[in-house]
C-alpha cells in the first residue's frame, strides 16, 4: 500500500507574477480552493494519509493552510460561513502534514530527493499541484495506486499532446502491454518535436519506488542544467521497470494562464454550481457522506 504523497512546492511560479510575488503558486485558488488542496484531496481519495511537502522560502501560507486558524474559527463559529471550512477540516482530519525546505532550486529530481527524509524506504506518490486532475469517478492517483498494487514498480501518468508541444513535457515511448499501460523504453525531458520519441507526455502524477533516491543522487544535471526526474526514471526503466499509464480524466495545466482559466471554468460549471449548497467545491462523495 502507498501511504505517502510528496508535493514538490518550492518553485517560484514566475508565469503568474505579480500574483506569486509573495504568495505561493500552490495557493492560487481555483474558484474557492487552493490548487494544493485539490492535490491533497486526490491523494486522500487514493487512500494516502501522509502528505510530505517540499517547500521553499516564502511558502509559509501552505503550512498555515493545513493548520487550525483559531481566530478565524472563533469569529465564524455558529454562523453559516462555517460551512466553507468543512472541506479543509475534512482534509486535515484525514491526513498528517510534514514539511521540509529545499534550499536551492535544482530541478524536480532534486526536489524529490530533498523529500527523502520524509519518505524513507517505501514506495510513494508525487503530485505536482499545478497539474489539476479531475475525475469524479476515480481520481488519477487512485487509478495509479490500483495499478501499483498489481505491478509494484514506478508509474508515470501520461497523456497525448500535440506534436508541437512536446518541448513542454517529459516524453516517453514504450510498448503497450495492456490497455492504456506502456512499458517505458525511452524517456526524454522536453524534446523538440523532431527528437520526440512519441506524443505521450508525462503529467504531474508519479508513483516511485524508493530505489529512485539512489538513482537521483547519481543523476547529472540534464535539461536546463537541472536534475531531472525524467533522467532518473529512464535509468530505472533501463535497469528495472517503469510503466506509463494513460489515465482517465481531465488534466488542466494550471502552471499556465490559459490552463488555469480553463480549470476555473470547468470547476465552476461542474463542481461548484452543481453542489447543492453552492459553497463547496468538494468533488469527492466520500467526504460528503461523512458530513
Ligand atoms: C515537470 C517535469 C516534466 C513533466 C511536467 C508535468 O516539468 O519535469 O517531465 O512533463 O512536470 O507537468 P515542469 O512543468 O515542472 O517544467
pLDDT in tens, 210-233: 999 999 999 999 999 999 999 999
Q: Confidence class of residue 163 from pLDDT cuts 50, 70 and 90?
A: very high
Instruction: Give residue-wise pLDDT tens across range 48-106.
Output: 999 999 999 889 999 999 999 999 989 998 898 888 888 898 999 999 999 999 998 89
Rounded-to-integer distance, Cα 281 and Cα 31, Å: 8
At residue 112, does pLDDT exceed 50?
yes
* Ligand 1, atom nearest to 228 Cα: 8
Residue 197: predicted pLDDT:
95
Residue 213: predicted pLDDT:
98
Question: What residue's CA is closest to ligand 1, atom 15?
Answer: 108
CA 60 – ligand 1 centroid, Å? 24
Question: What residue's CA is closest to ligand 1, atom 7?
Answer: 169
CA 83 – ligand 1 centroid, Å? 36
Phi, psi of 24 (to 5 degrees): -60, 140
Question: What residue's CA is closest to ligand 1, atom 11?
Answer: 204
CA 248 – ligand 1 centroid, Å? 19
If one counts the domains in the chain, the total is: 1
Pocket perturbation via mutation, ligand 1, pick of 35, 105, 169 by most ligand atoms within 8 A of CB: 169
Averaged confidence pLDDT in the chain:
92
Least confident range of 76-80, 255-259, 271-275: 271-275
* Ligand 1, atom nearest to 11 Cα: 15
Residue 276: predicted pLDDT:
54
Residue 272: predicted pLDDT:
83
Residue 206: predicted pLDDT:
98
Rounded-to-integer distance, Cα 63 and Cα 55, Å: 9
Looking at per-residue confidence, does 268 or 291 come out higher?
A: 268
Q: Please answer whether residues 212 and 242 qualify as being in contact, where contact means their C-beta atoms are separated by less than 8 angstroms.
A: no
CA 189 – ligand 1 centroid, Å? 8
Question: What residue's CA is closest to ligand 1, atom 6?
Answer: 203
User: How far lies 258's CA from each of 59, 130, 255, 261, in Å?
Assistant: 24, 12, 9, 5
Q: Confidence class of residue 273 from pLDDT cuts 50, 70 and 90?
A: confident
CATH number at 124 reads 3.90.550.10
Q: Please answer whether residues 57 and 104 qualify as being in contact, where contact means their C-beta atoms are separated by less than 8 angstroms.
A: no
Instruction: Give residue-wise pLDDT tens across range 21-36.
Output: 999 999 999 999 999 9
CA 279 – ligand 1 centroid, Å? 32
Q: Confidence class of residue 11 from pLDDT cuts 50, 70 and 90?
A: confident
Q: How many CB atoms are closer than 10 A to CB 117?
A: 10
Rounded-to-integer distance, Cα 285 and Cα 236, Å: 37
Pocket perturbation via mutation, ligand 1, pick of 16, 132, 168, 231 by most ligand atoms within 8 A of CB: 168
Least confident range of 122-136, 138-152, 241-255, 276-290: 276-290
- Provide the percentage of residues in the chain whose pLDDT is more than 90: 82
Residue-range definition of the domain harbouring residue 261: 4-290
Residue 289: predicted pLDDT:
45
Distance from the Cα of residue 260 to its chain's centroid:
15
- Ligand 1 neighbours by CB, cut-off 6 Å: 108, 128, 131, 169-170, 189, 201-204, 228, 230, 255
Amino acid at each position: 500500500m502507498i501511504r505517502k504523497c510528496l508535493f514538490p512546492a518550492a518553485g517560484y511560479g514566475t508565469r503568474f507574477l505579480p500574483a506569486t510575488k509573495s504568495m505561493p503558486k500552490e495557493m492560487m485558488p481555483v474558484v474557492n480552493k487552493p490548487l494544493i488542496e485539490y492535490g491533497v484531496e486526490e491523494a486522500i481519495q487514493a487512500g494516502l494519509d501522509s502528505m510530505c511537502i517540499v517547500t521553499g522560502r516564502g511558502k509559509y501560507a501552505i503550512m498555515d493552510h493545513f493548520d487550525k486558524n483559531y481566530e478565524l474559527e472563533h469569529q465564524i463559529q455558529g454562523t453559516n460561513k462555517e460551512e466553507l471550512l468543512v472541506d479543509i477540516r475534512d482534509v486535515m482530519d484525514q491526513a498528517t502534514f510534514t514539511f521540509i525546505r529545499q534550499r536551492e532550486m535544482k530541478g524536480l529530481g532534486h526536489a524529490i530527493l530533498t523529500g527523502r527524509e520524509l519518505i524513507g524506504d517505501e514506495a510513494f506518490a508525487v503530485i505536482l499541484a499545478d497539474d489539476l486532475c479531475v475525475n469524479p469517478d476515480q481520481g488519477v492517483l487512485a487509478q495509479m495506486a490500483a495499478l501499483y498494487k498489481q505491478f509494484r514498480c514506478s508509474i508515470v501518468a501520461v497523456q497525448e499532446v500535440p506534436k508541437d508541444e512536446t518541448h513542454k513535457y517529459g516524453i516517453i515511448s514504450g510498448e503497450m502491454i495492456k490497455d492504456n499501460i506502456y512499458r517505458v523504453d525511452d524517456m526524454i525531458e522536453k524534446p523538440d518535436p523532431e527528437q520526440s520519441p512519441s506524443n505521450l507526455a508525462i503529467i504531474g502524477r508519479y508513483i516511485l519506488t524508493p530505489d529512485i533516491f539512489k538513482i537521483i543522487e547519481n543523476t547529472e544535471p540534464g535539461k536546463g542544467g537541472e536534475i531531472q526526474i525524467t533522467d532518473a526514471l529512464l535509468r530505472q526503466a533501463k535497469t528495472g521497470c517503469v510503466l506509463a499509464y494513460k489515465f482517465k480524466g481531465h488534466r488542466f495545466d494550471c502552471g499556465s494562464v490559459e490552463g488555469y482559466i480553463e480549470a476555473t471554468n470547468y470547476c465552476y460549471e461542474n463542481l461548484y454550481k452543481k453542489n447543492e449548497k453552492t459553497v463547496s467545491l468538494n468533488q469527492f462523495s466520500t467526504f460528503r457522506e461523512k458530513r
